[in-house]
Amino acid sequence: MAKKVLLVYAHQSSGSFNAAAKDAAVEILTAQGCTVEVSDLYAMKFKATATAEDITGGVKNAEHFSYGEETKLAWEEGRLAADIKEEQRKLTEADLIIFQFPMYWFTVPAIMKGWFDRVLTLGFAYSVEKPYSLEIFKGKKAMLSFTTGAHESMFSANGINGDINVTLWPLQNGVLHCCGFQVLAPQIFWAPSHVSSEARSAMLEAWRTRLQGLLKEEPLVFTPPECFDKEKGFQLKPEVHEKHATKEFGLTVGHHLGKPLPPNSQMKAGV
């Protein structure tokens, strides 16, 4: 059965390396029989700020405006802004979502952060009562594909920018895993603006090769929601602590249990 892919893309220039990576994904995945839809955020002039304007028909409590609660109600009643509803439709239909962007200040560009803020609304994409447990995205895969401005050595445990696994945790766990996606290992293009054209070509060729088998890849491993006790403020259950007491590494970057971080747990499937 043909797969549907959503590519959320954030770069201003059609001549950029990010554009080439996006185009490669569209080409290779389409050739495999996938239906690929691209949300080109800059071309769309996507609004990055989460405001009351995202709700049609007025808000429930204008004096003490809560974006999360108001958009949850608006989502339930079909009163979200048209651009949000359109992106939510794309998400609902997609089997795989690829976020293609240049890393800005250790995270996504503002326009893509705005996409997260506005599209992944309370109720639709996540729940306060059941964090990491909504069913809507279960079975869907998502991944980050991005360029850096610094070389790989600078994002090592001993590098000046620190461990890339730590950098990736907020995005891969705090956004993608929190919404219930199966998170594929990231595709990182290290400092393409600081290497030769031959090196850039090699990066793109490696991406094209990976794309051939992307839909069959195993996801990264995260600590399942059932390992946390809701009655005790979603704390890790004692039996989980005990099970890992004698192990060399912690569970994940975030749930490290005071131990060394598991190596490359945000970079490789099954680690």
State pLDDT tens for residues 207-254.
999 999 999 999 999 998 899 989 899 999 989 988 988 899 988 999
* Shared-domain flag, residues 152 and 54: yes
State pLDDT tens for residues 26-69.
999 999 999 999 999 999 999 999 999 999 998 988 889 999 99
* Shared-domain flag, residues 213 and 226: no
* Shared-domain flag, residues 25 and 85: yes
* Shared-domain flag, residues 209 and 242: no
Query: What is the pTM for the complete model shown?
Result: 0.95
How many domains is the chain built from? 2
Final residue in a domain of this structure, among 173, 200, 218:
218
Buried-exposed string 175-209: b where 16+ CB fall within 10 A, e elsewhere = bbbbbbbbbbbbbbbbbbeeeeeeebeebbeebee
* Shared-domain flag, residues 112 and 232: no
* Shared-domain flag, residues 74 and 199: yes
State pLDDT tens for residues 160-186.
999 999 999 999 999 999 999 999 999
* Shared-domain flag, residues 207 and 113: yes
* Shared-domain flag, residues 180 and 270: no
* Shared-domain flag, residues 127 and 229: no
Contact 254, 221 (CB under 8 A): no
- The angle, 0 to 180 degrees and rounded to 10, between the axes of the packed helices 110-119 and 82-93 is 80
Final residue in a domain of this structure, among 192, 218, 244:
218
Element (H, E) at 96: strand 96-102
State pLDDT tens for residues 87-102.
999 999 999 999 999 9
Helices vs strands, H then E, count in the chain: 8, 8
* Tokens, residue 165: 């696994």
* Shared-domain flag, residues 114 and 201: yes
State pLDDT tens for residues 118-137.
999 999 999 988 889 888 89
Residue 267 domain boundaries: 221-271
* Shared-domain flag, residues 187 and 55: yes
* Shared-domain flag, residues 214 and 271: no
Contact 68, 122 (CB under 8 A): yes
Final residue in a domain of this structure, among 174, 190, 218:
218
